[in-house]
Chains A and B, each alone.
Chain A
Amino acid sequence: MSFREIIIQQLFNGLLLGSFYGLVALGYSMVYGIIKLLNFAHADIYMVGGFCSLSLLAFFGGTFFGNGWLGIIAAMLITMIIVGLLGVLIERIAYRPLRDAPRLSLLITALGVSMILYNSVMVITGGEYKAYKTGLGFEGFSLGSVHVTYTQAILIVAAVSLMFVLHLFITRTMYGKAMRAISMDLDCCRLMGVNVNKIIALTFFVGSALAASAGMMAGVYYGSLHFFMGFVIGIKAFTSAVIGGIGVIPGAMLGGVLLGLLESFGTQIPFIGSEWKDVFSFSILILILIFKPTGLLGKKESERM
């Protein structure tokens, strides 16, 4: 491949990877913004989303009223609702009783939830890779000698539109306004008559639903699922959220795309083979946390943790 084609190929890989990271990062960022919790279980929600959609697809037989695309869309919507409710349930059982507890307890609880989720899936699936079969083919279009399937293109479009819908939800609706208000001052919102518990539950619903959609897209893209697949993407999505500025919604998307691009171009640098890919992104995370913990779009935080 020529230099130009490598660039196009990596640009495309980076965008696709980046939109997965962005979708997962949104959940981290929203939850962090609203209750200052680093939700370790979020990455496993992503993984559960993948498996949930796989079972639904198997249940539909891959199609919905005989249409492959309709089947996938239906599976995606139902997955988002189911996993969103799972997120609400987790918040209700594990995080709400500890809202005023020390931060260390809350973090350890999140770790416990994460362990429960991935071990449950491990027990159910027997710890094996599960093939993710869809009725979608490999037809597509070509840019130079770079082949792009329609599925890949649609995945990017779907991810971007989900982010856009979320952006509208946060900026244009009453619920979005309530979320932004709670992230500024929870107690004050309670005094102003905002139903804080309901809004926090809603935040978990939206964040988990987005992660679930990303999990499903990853299944479609990679063609297989594994119970531990959330772990690495969890750290990377968190990195994305931090790059963009944690708690800032457009920041999570920007961070996701940036990290995706950095990663796919980073592996093209000589001496950094693909086996060093994860080391590369973890190093970026550490460097950003050390030198610019507020991220690119984040505001200077004066509060002390």
Chain B
Amino acid sequence: MKEKQTAAARTAIKRDNPLAGLINRLYIIFDNKKIRYSVLAIAVAVLLYLPMITSLYFMEVMTNVWFNVTVCLGLNIIVGFAGLLSLGYAAFFAVGAYTTGILISHYGVSFWLTLPVSVLMAIIAGLAIGAPTLKLRSDYLAIVTLGFGEIIRLAARNLQITGRATGLVGIDRPVLFGMTLYKINHFYYAFLLVAILAIFVSYRLQDSRLGRAWKCIREDEDAAEAMGINVVAVRLYAFVIGSVFGAVAGSFMAVKMTAISPESFLFTQSVMILLAVVLGGMGKIPGVILGAFAIVVFPEVFRGIGEYRMLIFGLLLLVLMIYRPQGLWPERHT
């Protein structure tokens, strides 16, 4: 009964949309839990079965998609949930990638043991960037995160331990139960697993006490503070959790590529992730996943555009902000 009511409420919101009928019919169908879970199960089964039937190229693209889904969901926690504009997100997966890379290639640590270290480093990085800056205004925060992103990249380029401009090469492949992961299909499953974990954690966070606090601060900081929310602490959580997502994805990327260089963590990389989050719809998890798909698949489909890619993305960002600032699949406000 309750589910029918929510569907009816959604009908009222969507009346001006020409596709309202279809969308509402879909909502009514998906409000049924059995249908929803069976569709989800089929989708996961298809994704698990994909490597058996498709080409290596397709697998490479899909692996990239799952990597982007993970980092976009991480940035979504910072930008979408907590409403903090971060322009240096690439720094966080640089932290993860370099931690794993250094531990494996300099100290010969097993990949799986580097993961907790990389998470720890991400927490430290998130605290270091977040703690002093989160009281700043939104545009100052944007420029500070940009500055931190560049500092981390430049430090990686200048330090001996990170291999300077050439970066780290020949990072050993991870071994799982005596099997070395080296095929693209292995990494497809690894990244799929990480992405599913990220989606799950994002959903659990979204409706948690913390998630509601983030949304509350995003909508009205003063009101949130008056309600007894510790604004700085809650924002710090967003920063730290977001950076952990990025670092884990970065660690996996380091062993998949077996080589990392400072050029993988350019400002444009941070902007692309932000674009995906904004394109899909800030704060809406399926929207962000859609955005991550779009930024990977779009340049692959339109191979010919080559160097025009970023130009088109820039135009897209502009048009989107003017005509549909809420993104393709926005969060619903009630």
Which A positions have Cβ atoms within 8 angstroms of B?
36-38, 93-94, 97-98, 101-109, 111-116, 119-120, 122-123, 127, 231, 235, 238, 242, 275-276, 278-279, 282-283, 285-286, 289-290, 293, 304-305
Answer yes or no: B271 CB below 8 A from chain A CBs.
yes
Residues in A with CB closer than 8 Å to B253 are: none
Task: Write out the residue numbers on chain B whose beta carbons fall within 8 Å of the beta carbon of A106.
Answer: 321
Q: How far does the Cβ of A187 sit from chain B's closest Cβ, in whole Å? A: 20
Interface string of B63-88 (1 = CB under 8 A from A): 00000000000000001000101010
Residues on A with C-beta less than 8 A from B137 are 293, 305
A104–B307 CB distance below 8 A: no
Query: Do residues A290 and B155 form an inter-chain contact, with CB atoms below 8 A?
Result: no
Known A107-B138, A123-B311, A231-B267: A116·B83 in contact at CB below 8 Å: no
A-B contact pairs, 17 of them (CB 8 A): A38-B142, A101-B321, A103-B138, A104-B79, A104-B138, A111-B317, A112-B317, A112-B321, A276-B158, A278-B150, A279-B150, A282-B147, A283-B151, A285-B143, A293-B137, A293-B140, A304-B222
Contacts of B140 in A (CB 8 A): 242, 289, 293
Instruction: Point out the residue from A103, A104, A119, A276 that lies within 8 Å of B311, measured CB to CB.
Output: A119
Q: What residues of A have a CB within 8 angstroms of the CB of B83 in the complex?
A: 104
Q: A38-B142, A115-B314, A123-B311 known; A285 and B267 CB under 8 Å?
A: no
Which residues from chain B contact A282 at a C-beta distance below 8 Å?
147-148, 150-151, 154
B138:A119 contact, CB within 8 angstroms: no
Residues of A within 8 A of B304 (CB): none
Contact A38 B325 (CB under 8 A): no
Q: Which residues in window 130-161 of B have CB below 8 A to A? A: 132-133, 136-140, 142-144, 146-148, 150-151, 154-155, 157-158
Q: Please tell me if the beta carbons of A113 and B147 are within 8 angstroms of each other in the complex.
A: no
Chain A nearest CB, measured from B152 CB (Å): 9
Give, as a whole number of angstroms, the nearest-CB distance from A48 to chain B: 14
Asked whether B85 lies within 8 Å of A123 as measured between CB atoms, the reply is no
CB-nearest residue of chain A relative to B321? A109
Interface: B249 (CB within 8 A): no
When chains A and B are docked, how far (Å) is the Cα of A102 from the Cα of B221? 14
Q: Which residues of A contact B136 (CB under 8 A)?
A: 289-290, 293
Nearest-neighbour CB distance to chain B for A9, whole angstroms, equals: 24
Chain A neighbourhood of B146, CB < 8 A:
235
Contact of A108 among B151, B158, B317 (CB under 8 A): B317
Return A253 CB to nearest CB of chain B, in Å. Answer: 20
Q: Is A116 a contact of B314 with CB atoms below 8 Å?
A: yes
Smallest Cβ distance from B305 to chain A, in angstroms?
11
C-alpha spacing A3/B255, complex, angstroms:
49
Q: Shortest Cβ distance from B144 into chain A, in angstroms?
A: 5
Residues in B with CB closer than 8 Å to A115 are: 271, 310-311, 313-314, 317
B278 at the A/B interface (Cβ < 8 Å)?
Answer: yes
Q: How far is the CA of A97 from the CA of B323 in the complex (A)?
A: 9
CB distance from B115 to the nearest CB of A (A): 28
By a CB distance below 8 angstroms, the chain B residues around A108 are 85, 274, 278, 317, 321
A97 to B83, CA, bound (A): 22
Residues of B within 8 A of A120 (CB): 311
In the assembled complex, which residues on chain A have CB atoms less than 8 Å from the CB atom of B315? 112, 116
Q: Which residues of A contact B302 (CB under 8 A)?
A: none
What's the least CB distance linking A122 to chain B, in Å? 7
Greatest chain B CB density within 10 A among A123, A275, A285, A293 is at: A285
Q: Report the bound CA distance from A113 to B146 in whole Å.
A: 17
Closest beta carbon of chain B to A215's beta carbon, Å:
19
**Once bound together, how far apart are the Cα atoms of A282 and B154, in whole Å?**
11
A117 to B, closest residue via Cβ: B314
> Which residue of chain A has its CB nearest to the CB of B326?
A105
By beta carbon, the residue of chain A nearest B146 is A235
Cβ–Cβ contact B147 & A286, under 8 A:
yes
Bound Cα distance A108, B158 (Å): 31
Asked whether any CB of chain A lies closer than 8 Å to the CB of B57, the reply is: no
Give the one of B85, B143, B307 with max A CB within 10 A. Answer: B143
Contact of A98 with B151 in the complex, beta carbons under 8 Å: no
In the assembled complex, B322 has its CB within 8 A of some CB on chain A: yes
Say yes or no: is B318 at the interface (Cβ < 8 Å to chain A).
Answer: yes
Does any Cβ of A come within 8 Å of B177's Cβ?
Answer: no
- 5 additional A-B pairs beyond A36-B139, A107-B142, beta carbons within 8 Å, are A108-B85, A119-B310, A235-B150, A279-B154, A305-B137
Within 8 A of A (CB), among B275-320: 278, 307-308, 310-311, 313-318
Given A112-B321, A127-B307, A235-B146, is A107 in contact with B314 using a C-beta cutoff of 8 Å? no
A123–B308 CA distance with the chains assembled, in angstroms: 7
Contact call A285/B311, Cβ cutoff below 8 A:
no
Residue of A nearest to B218 (CB): A104
Q: Are A97 and B322 CB-contacts (below 8 A) given A115-B313, A115-B314, A286-B148?
A: yes
CA distance in complex: A285, B317 (Å)? 27
Q: Is the CB of A305 within 8 A of B139?
A: yes
Residues on A with C-beta less than 8 A from B155 are 279
- Once the chains bind, are A286 and B144 in contact (CB under 8 Å)? yes
Q: What chain A residues lie within 8 Å of B310 (beta carbons)?
A: 115, 119, 122
From A97, A112, A242, A286, B314 is in contact (CB under 8 Å) with: A112
| Complex-state Cα separation, A201 to B267, whole angstroms | 29
What residue in chain B is nearest A276 (Cβ atoms)?
A: B158
Q: Which residues of B contact A37 (CB under 8 A)?
A: 139
| Assembly CA distance A103 to B157 (angstroms) | 33
A109-B85 contact, Cβ under 8 Å, with A122-B307, A305-B138? no
Which chain B residue lies CB-closest to A285? B147
Beta-carbon contact of A111 and B274 below 8 Å: yes
Cβ–Cβ < 8 Å partners of A122 in chain B? 307, 310-311
User: In the complex the two chains form, is A104's CB within 8 Å of B85's CB?
Assistant: yes
